[in-house]
Structures are given as C-alpha cells and as structure tokens.
Amino acid sequence: MMRSCIQYLLGNNAIRLFVLTVVSIVTSCGDKTGVDDPDQKTSVAPPDSISVFYTCDTRGHINPCNCTAGVAGGLARRKTFIAQQQQGDSLIVDAGNNTAGTRAWELLELDYILRGYKEIGYDAVNIGAREAELPVAKLHELAKTYPFMISANVLGADGKPIFSEYKIVTMKSGYRAAVIGVLDDTLLPDEIGEGVKIAPPEQAIAAVLSKAKTEADFIVLLAFANEQAMKSIADQFYEIDAIIGGDVEQPSGEAVTANKSTLVYVTDKGKSVGKLDLRHIGGQYVAERNTVTILMENIADDTKIAALVNELRQKQVENNYPTKKDDEDGLTRVN
C-alpha cells in the first residue's frame, strides 16, 4: 500500500532515483575511499549529471516541416535551442535517417544537413535505413567528408565497416563517452544500396564494446531500430548506459529502463529535439528526466545555419531541383 502511494505521487523513474539515492548514501557511509566501481577505467570522477541531446529521422527537412499540424523543426531553430540548453557535461547525437532518399536533390540536401550538424556541434551521427540505400561509393565519400558519422554494422562489399564503428567524446569535465552506432538488419535486399551489407547489430556491438570500454567511461548506443529491438539489445549488453533511437512512429515520453540501460527515442522529420538528463547515483547513471521539445516559431533562427539554408536554396533553384518533400504530411516512404 505504501509503495503504491509513493508510486502514484512520484512515478516509476522517480522511485528508482529515490531508491538508488538511498543505496548511494548507505554505500558512502560504509566506504570512505570515494572510489567508484573498480572496473570503470577512468582518471576523472564521474560527473554528477550528463545531458544527451538527441535527434533522429530528419529525412531531408533542413527547413521547418510545413505540415498540417504546424510549421515545426528546422536546423536553424535546432541550433538555437541546443545552444540555449547546453551546459555542463553533454553530448549531441543523431540516431540516423537524415536523407530523404537517393535522388540528386536529396543528396544535396543531405550534404547541407551534415554541414549544419558540424556547425551545431554534433558529436556523432548514426547511419539510418535511408542512408543504407545509398551505394557503397557514396557512403565511403560521406565517411571521409564527415568523420562524425558512425556505424558498427554497415559494411562494404569486403565485409569491413565503411564508417567509424564508434566515436570517443571527451566532455567538459574530461569524462569520456563512447558512442556506438548500429542499424537494424531487417531491411530487404532492394532497400540496401549497391555493395552495402548490414551485419547483425548484436554481433557488431559485441565486437567493439570491449575495446570501447577500455577507452571510455560512459557508453551510448545510437540504434536506428524499433523499440523492441532496442530493448533486446539492452537485455544482452548491460554495459550500455543509454540507447538512443530510432525507427519508431512516436517519440518517447518518459525514459524507459531496460536492464541497466536508459532508452529514449524521437522521430518525424526533425521537428523535435530530445534531451535526456542522467544523474550518477549508486555507481550508475539513471534517468532524471527526458523531455522532447517541438521546435516552433518562438525559437529564433541561428544566423549561420540560416545562411547555410539560403545557400542550399540558391543551389536548388540553379539546378531546378524540387523543394517540396514527397512526405510533407506523413511518415510515408520516398521511393
């Protein structure tokens, strides 16, 4: 009865946070050394909190989506929002699906989106299903031009990873994060680009996780996969602190706990930015709060990104490229 009352007042994540706080206090009373988990290889004490800013499924929408539900999103607003919110130890990541498709004008948009990501300060950008439709030569070009792009299981014809399997990011305090990227391997053969192979994500994670743990203190997985697949990965790999997705129809509300991982996700044409706040309690990071903010007109455009968007617009006009998206009003597939 008492637990039910507490759960009603606080919610599941708050209860977990409360319990871990008590455990942390009890542990500190019995151990005065101040040393964290001895298996955690770090020369820097874990920061009290880490924030992860995350996006997914921009799908070519460098401008706000002119959808029936409202004009929302756009990279110029995204940079302003993240810059206003970012403080302390944090990461900026994207879980994939940044291109609308494989046509010439869509690849031009993708280039400008990735240039925008560089300006925003993204630490890692995963390969999604739509990027996997590109031919292997184009993917190699992207890997060379944009080294923040990652994927542990998108392979070339030779069976070797096209992109970096993970990125090591040193945050403000000196605390290190390893960000690993994977794509679900359920795509059909005609949905995969020429010369591209997709290995099972679990196999790819297992191959890199041990090495990543020797280089970093905090593990983040970017997974363009559905919620069930992300939970399955969490069940297999307790070492992952946070899983960011994904191939879903709706963004997550409250963060989901699976095994020892915190799972969140966002979608739908880059209209929103997620912010996962994690707190270090009882020797691990747990979700303090998860917010998904829709980028509406009240958020000002960043001037540098706005200039980049205008440059893209000029090139579209010069090349007589279309500017309206095929999927303006829904989650439809561009063929």
What values do phi and psi take at 178, rounded to 5? -105, 125
132 vs 237: CA distance, rounded Å = 25
Look at residue 334 and give its three-state secondary structure.
Answer: coil
134 vs 195: CA distance, rounded Å = 9
Inter-residue contact 74 to 325 (CB < 8 Å) = no
**What is the pLDDT, as a whole number, of residue 192?**
97
163 vs 180: CA distance, rounded Å = 11
284 vs 262: CA distance, rounded Å = 11
The CA–CA distances, whole Å, from 54 to 126, 232, 256, 258, 293 equal 11, 21, 15, 19, 11
The CA–CA distances, whole Å, from 227 to 52, 57, 167, 247, 251 equal 19, 15, 23, 8, 11
**For 21-32, how does the pLDDT look when each residue is reduced to its tens digit (9 = 90+)?**
433 433 333 333
176 vs 124: CA distance, rounded Å = 14
Look up tokens 């008590």; give the residue: 22
Closest Cα partner for 283 from 102, 73, 2, 40?
40
**For 235-291, how does the pLDDT look when each residue is reduced to its tens digit (9 = 90+)?**
999 999 999 998 998 898 899 999 999 999 999 899 999 999 999 999 999 999 999
Look up tokens 């209860």; give the residue: 15
Residue 220 tokens read as 């983040």
Average pLDDT, the chain: 87
Residue 74 tokens read as 């756009």
Residue 15 predicted with pLDDT over 50: no
Please report the domains of the chain, with CATH numbers, ordered by start residue: 1-31 (no CATH), 47-317 (3.60.21.10)
Q: Which residues contact 245 (CB under 8 A, 6 or more apart)?
A: 56, 95, 222, 223, 224, 225, 226, 227, 230, 263, 264, 265
Question: For residue 164, what are the β-bridge partners?
Answer: 150
Residue 191 predicted with pLDDT over 50: yes
CA atoms 195, 198, 204, 207: torsion sign = negative
DSSP annotation of 279 reads E
**For 109-161, how does the pLDDT look when each residue is reduced to its tens digit (9 = 90+)?**
999 999 999 999 999 999 999 999 999 999 999 999 999 999 999 999 999 99
